[in-house]
Amino acid sequence: MSITSPQAARRVAYDGPEVAAQPEPESASSSLAVSRETALPKPVTTRTFVIANQKGGVGKTTTAVNLATALAQGGLTVLVIDLDPQGNASTALGIEHGEGVAGTYEVVTEGAAIADLVQTSPEAPGLWVLPATVDLAGAEVGLVNVPARESRLLHALREFRSSYQPDYVFIDCPPSLGLLTVNALVAAQEILIPIQCEYYALEGVTQLLRTINLVKGSMNDQLYLSTVLLTMFDSRTRLATQVSDEVRKHFPVETLDATIPRSVRVSEAPSYGQSVITYHASSAGAQAYLAAAAELAHRGVASKENQE
């Protein structure tokens, strides 16, 4: 298909006041409001993130979808690779991924080119999606005897980047630690871990960090944990604040200042095939993801400048 770049800058259209089924934290919408008067800063080179957490229900796919949409709304080009057989990221970005639709499965198992299979999301110009189908559930079995099976996605992504040079790539992984997730870890440079502000928040993170170190030591020495995002934060509870403090103590540099509140709108948006940013842009959840995306973009530029 033909892939075109977005214009230099875009502005999110904000709706009227939100009427939620239950109240959201008051501070989120006011303190995290993000202007879209100017485009977000463009990274020097493509930033490739794997969004992973072995604990389910932490907002992993929601984070991938909304950060991608926010960055694309900010004038950047973004590729989302849906590596989860459930295809929830594809659904939330308004992408067809039913029977007969080719996508990630064909790229990983058959060596198909990403550029031939990506679809443009209606969420934002410059937002491309490589969809997942149920066929992906059998990919690990199909790859057992394939040489360099852990690098299939890496090679496909390198080919795509050489021609289209997206600003950001987000790889949404299944919660299990299998060959698909290993492919994502080998293909990425940065890891973003969403952590929900609830009991057992760090459950799964320890094992994931061990896996990261194994991959880093043997298959991808560029891989590192760059970003932690706190999700499902409810400022009305002491527990959320305690979890936030604990995570920031463990990951003081990596944790974004922006936090994602527990939000009715965030939960509703995927059922309409939308990100919360287009579903209800003035909601606390949308504003929080816009703020997180802006922080992510500015951090990347600052990090590059510090390295130089």
The structural domain count of the chain equals 1
Whether residue 20 lies inside any domain: the answer is no
Query: Where is average pLDDT lowest: 104-113, 156-165, 206-215?
Result: 206-215
pTM given for the model: 0.85
Residues whose CB is less than 8 angstroms from the CB of residue 238 and which lie 6 or more positions away in sequence, other chains included: none
Q: What is the pLDDT of residues 38-84, one digit of tens each?
A: 589 999 999 999 998 866 667 889 999 999 999 999 999 999 999 99
Question: For residue 289, what are the domain limits?
Answer: 37-138+146-307
Q: Cα separation of 39 and 126, whole Å?
A: 13
Whether residue 269 lies inside any domain: the answer is yes
Which pair of tokens denotes residue 133? 């189908």
Residue 174: C-alpha distances to residues 50, 74, 121, 284 (Å): 11, 27, 21, 27
Whether residue 12 lies inside any domain: the answer is no
Q: What is the pLDDT of residues 190-199, one digit of tens each?
A: 999 999 888 7
CA gyration radius for the chain?
18
122: CATH:
3.40.50.300
Q: At what angle do helices 205-218 and 179-187 cross, to 10 degrees?
A: 60
Given a cut of 80, whether residue 272 has pLDDT beyond it is yes
Whether residue 25 lies inside any domain: the answer is no
Where does the pLDDT of residue 303 fall: very low under 50, low under 70, confident under 90, or very high at 90 and above?
low
